[in-house]
Structure 1
Amino acid sequence: MIESFVTYLQYEKRSSPHTVEAYERDLTQLSEFLELSFEKEELAQADPKELRAWVIDLVEQGLSSTSVNRKIATLRSYYKFLLRRGEIIQDPTYKLKSLKNPKKLPEFVQEKSIASVLEESVYEDDFRGKRDRMVMEFLYLTGVRLSELIVLRWEDIELNQDQVKVLGKRKKERIIPITKGLRQNIISYQKVFEETFPKAGQSHYFIVSNSGKKSYPMMVYRIVRKYLDLFAQTSKRSPHVLRHTFATHLLNKGADLNAVKDLLGHANLAATQVYTHNSMEKLKAVFEQAHPKA
């Protein structure tokens, strides 16, 4: 019946060759397992316990939960196919549960490293240098997304109120306060910007290329990677790492979770709670302060 299922995927479901190959490989592996472990030659004869035994065997082989879950999805699709064809009277996958994927904590830059990244002496004293520093500083001190930074215009920067208007996901606007230090650096950057592009008005983009055109994702990625490479110890060096750093540093300093949620533009609190992990430095500090034997 594997051949019939493959034909169904190819011509009725119009699945991609990659998907068809993966499904066929998964079912062949299961068939071999059932024959060796339970002396069953037909997949249609498998019961829930035997399918669960295969899943356990996959885990013991060291397969990731993502890989195992994909194979479980193959089984569900296959046995639903058999059920519709009348080859079986009950779906044996009804008791199979997908494995929980371990949550990966977001990477962030340590405070000492971010201070080094933002040192003025690291950057050239020209438009490119001022622009690059502004990209790094703005991402870290506001927590905006890459997509939000790219569409930001000068008219969105309200220096007289020390705040910036950001257009986030689903066209939802939010207000983010800016520090006095960032305000002064924006003024400095604005001066160089206007000298370099004298015809640019308030409606012009805040971050631009060397020729004055609107920035683009890969340009910002290159800037962030260039300067994080100098000091940061994170394996990831992307604009989103600076957003992670913004949130983590705020929470490590005692910021209210709901306030951080609003600053990040998250729709619900669950998305923000991932940042409540502690840095090792904070854990050590708490341990040394609280443990009687520290």
Structure 2
Amino acid sequence: MLAELDDTLAEFVRHLSAERNRSPHTQRAYEADVRALFEFMVDRGCTSTADLTLPVLRSWLAEQTTSGLSRSTIARRAAAARTFCAWATRAGRLPRNPALRLAAPRRDRTLPGVLAQQQASDLLDVAGLAADDGDPIHLRDRLALELLYSSGVRVGELVGLDVDDVDLERRVLRVTGKGNKQRVVPFGVPAAEAVRSWLSLGRPLLVTHDSGPALLLGRRGRRADQRQVRAAVHSLLEHVPGADDVGPHGLRHSAATHLLEGGADLRAVQELLGHATLATTQIYTHVSVERLKATYEQAHPRA
């Protein structure tokens, strides 16, 4: 790639980190997307950022479509291009923003699998039985599953928790979510019991000088990572007959769905999940047919 484009990309990535406070995952994704855009430009004879125009952007996205990429990937690449163009215009790298009229396909609205309430209960029972052997990893896995389902936190938020982020007296977590935004999330009595067991019987057996304040630890005493939690969820779900292999994100979705089925307000669920807009919550969650029928029969005068 040409030096000027390479320098522009490096500056854009620094902007994402220092000014936009985007997560490392988002930074890597946007960097890869803009790099792909620049490589497309170079292949067509462009030599600088100023050569980026709306026709170039549209041609780039059209090529993504013909190459067989999913609608979600193309939508993300379009979002990365819009973010880049807005920044480049403000930074003087572009004379005007060419992405203002850039259209892209909507993301696929596929939802993760969801457990039935009884399946979620069975899963947590399995985790509890496994923890009865006193193995600190089993105690940790029980806690991880209880918190994922009880609070609806993301798995990345879960492994980022420190001991001081857990308030057992009030039964709330202080969670740092996307964009480094903090929120307070409640959890239930069974999760509180799992926290106490882990802190008194599990964590002390694994803690080392490398542990720091991390709540969840691995075998070697370092902060547990997302892969370890995912492996635990998948492994324990194998013992729940008929349950889909949903993973940690499915537990989050199950928690939100079961809250709605129990009559929770959609805005309350939005706050719990840490969604910036209610529209995201409406897409992320779904209300059961049974609850819709019950609401209709209760509210409609001709039901």
TM-score (norm 1): 0.62
Distance 2:211 2:163 in 1: 5
1:12 to 45, 64, 72: 45
- 3-state SS of the aligned residue for 1:165? strand
- Out of 115, 119, 122, the position equivalent to 1:109 is 115
Local SS of the residue matching 1:128: helix
Q: How much has 1:237 moved relative to structure 2?
A: 2.5
- Is 1:211 aligned to residue 220 of structure 2? yes
**Conserved? CA contact 2:211–2:222, under 8 Å:** no
Displacement of 1:193 after TM fit? 2.6
SS in 2 for 1:176: strand
Q: CA deviation at 1:180?
A: 2.3
| 1:121 correspondence with 2:154 | no
1:138 is aligned to 147
1:102 CA displacement:
5.6
C-alpha distance in 1 between matches for 2:63 and 2:290: 46
CA root-mean-square deviation: 4.0
**Match for residue 16 of structure 2?**
none
Task: Report the 3-state secondary structure (helix = DSSP H, G, I; strand = E; otherwise coil) of the residue aligned with 1:149.
Answer: helix
The structure 2 residue matched to 1:176, chosen from 175, 179, 185, is 185
Amino acid at match of 1:154: V
Q: How many angstroms does 1:231 deviate by?
A: 1.6
Alignment-derived partner of residue 154 in structure 1: 163
Aligned mates of 2:183, 2:248 — CA distance in 1: 19
The percentage of counterpart residues that share the same residue type is: 32
Structure 1 distance, partners of 2:192, 2:264, is 21
Give the AA of the match of 2:264: A
The match for 2:267 is 258
Which one is further off, 202-211 or 129-138? 202-211
For 2:45, the aligned partner's letter is E
Query: How far does the alpha carbon of each residue in 1:175-209 deviate from its partner, in whole angstroms, 9 at most, with x for none?
Result: 11122222122111111134404667995211111
Quickly say closer, same or farther: Cα 1:187–1:253, change in 2 above 3 A: same
Closer/same/farther in 2, CA of residues 11 and 134 from structure 1, 3 Å limit: same
User: 1:108–1:241: 8 Å Cα contact kept in structure 2?
Assistant: yes
8 Å Cα contact 1:128-1:210 kept in structure 2: yes
In structure 1, the partner of 2:6 is none
Deviation (angstroms), 1:99: 6.4
Once the two structures are TM-superposed, the CA of residue 287 in structure 1 deviates from its matched residue by 9.3
- The number of residue pairs the alignment matches comes to 221
- 1:204 & 1:186 partners in 2: Cα distance? 15
Structure 2: unaligned runs, 5 residues or longer? 1-39, 48-58, 79-102
Q: Specify the code of the residue in structure 2 equivalent to 1:258.
A: R
Note if 1:163 corresponds to 2:196.
no
Q: Which has the larger radius of gyration?
A: 1
Distance 1:278 1:166 in 2: 26
Aligned equivalents of 2:209 and 2:200: distance in 1? 12
Q: Structure 1 residues 100 and 170, CA, compared in 2 at 3 Å: closer, same or farther?
A: closer
Consecutive aligned runs of 4 or more in structure 1 exceeding 3 Å deviation:
22-27, 63-67, 97-102, 197-203, 232-236, 279-290
Distance in 2, Cα, partners of 1:129 & 1:234 = 21
Q: Which runs of 5+ in 1 are unaligned?
A: 1-6, 28-62, 74-96
Q: 1:114 to 1:24 in 2, by over 3 A?
A: closer
Q: What is the CA–CA distance in structure 2 between the aligned matches of 1:161 and 1:202, rounded to whole Å?
A: 25
The alpha carbon displacement at 1:257 in A equals 1.0
In structure 1, distance between residues paired with 2:176 and 2:147: 15
Secondary structure of 1:254's partner?
coil
